[in-house]
A = this chain, B = another copy of it.
Amino acid sequence: MLDRLEAMPLIDHHCHGVLPRDLERAEFERYLTEAATVTPLGGSMFDTQAGFALRRWCAPVLDLEPHAAPDDYLARRTELGAAEVNRRFLAAAGLAALCVDTGYIPEPLLEPAELGRLADAPAYEIVRLEQAARTAVGAKSIAAYRAGLELAGERPGEAEITAAAGRLLRADGPPRVCDEVLHRFLIWCAADLGLPVQFHVGYGDADTDLRRGDPLLLTGLLRALAPTGTPVLLLHNYPFHRNAGYLAQVFPNVFVDAGLATHNLGQRAPALIAELLELAPFGKVLYSSDAFGLAEFFHLGALLFRRGLARLLAEGVAEGAWAERDAVRVAGMITAGNARRIYRLRS
């Protein structure tokens, strides 16, 4: 089953750019997990599931032994240079297509076209709802980071929108969309445009308030959006992935993935994938890496996802719970078929 999955190109329906420059150890550690800061009190971020998985699976791509020590890993990374490192990991991921979120660029990152060139696969753009782009295949909401996911179901009225926009414009400092009304308004705009809407859900960095990132908070909005047929894609979801699976089952237009969490859980990724696939129908589950900054995550996310899914499917076949042909069909749906259908991708 793993052989079959390794032969299946993945569509990574949510990822970001990677850094085009070399990194010192402290910087690398900060990119390695969602940690706010790294301090001696808490130890190295290499001592995490993500760090252990990276040393196991990324070291050989750089011609090192598995489990190479962190300093050896970083020395080899610098020796090869960022361009070669990025090339190797994007190629290793085995992608059929990428949908790149271009809405968060704290420092220069590789552009979608360049990522696509390295991956030898078409790269599509996902835009933040606050922006506009004729060529995007989807829009992304970061309401979880701003207003929380408890968005009302009703489409906001014009007076409500004008008032909220006025408050935003009159506020001091750079404008930051924290108003629930404006997030809702933008989501309905995307629905009008027929664009699939991705939501950041659950796991993220220390700036998120995880309690306000539970996908169940979206229930009213999902109920209101269902009749429009707008695909809603719940990203990441951990530790609320079972809640997300429930929503994917009961609402016809809701889809889920386990991006970001997959590589952060490392050796435990199979448990996450198995729990996600409890209530979520197999036609509702997608792959994403949510890779950001480090090219390693393209490889690690793809590898851990393939291995975790292969284990679940192979166990089911071995126990007679499902036929092998069904398992292979489900693998094809989850690796690429579902994403291709939902985003109407050409490849």
Contacts and interface: CB of A to CB of B under 8 A. Distances in A.
A246 B216 contact: no
A238 interface: yes
A203 interface: yes
Given A211-B214, A216-B211, A229-B41, A250 B47 contact: no
A210 B226 CA distance: 17
A115 B239 CA distance: 38
A279 interface: yes
B41 A253 contact: yes
Interface in A186-239: 203, 205-206, 209-211, 214, 216-217, 219-220, 223, 226, 229, 231, 238-239
Contacts of A42: 248, 252-253, 255, 281, 283-284
Interface string A14-58: 000000000000000000011111110111110111001101100
A244 B322 CA distance: 31
B210 A243 contact: yes
B210 A36 contact: no
A36 B252 contact: yes
Q: Report the contact-size class of chain A (Cβ under 8 Å from the partner).
A: 35 or more
A298 to B, nearest CB: 20
A347 B47 CA distance: 23
A209 B205 contact: no
Nearest to A282: B47
Contacts of A35: 249-250, 252, 281
Given A34-B249, A35-B249, 6 more contacts: A38-B252, A41-B253, A42-B255, A43-B333, A239-B243, A272-B278
Interface of A: 33-39, 41-45, 47-49, 52-53, 55-56, 66-67, 203, 205-206, 209-211, 214, 216-217, 219-220, 223, 226, 229, 231, 238-239, 242-243, 246, 248-253, 255, 264-268, 271-272, 274-275, 277-279, 281-284, 316, 319-323, 326, 330, 333, 338, 341-342
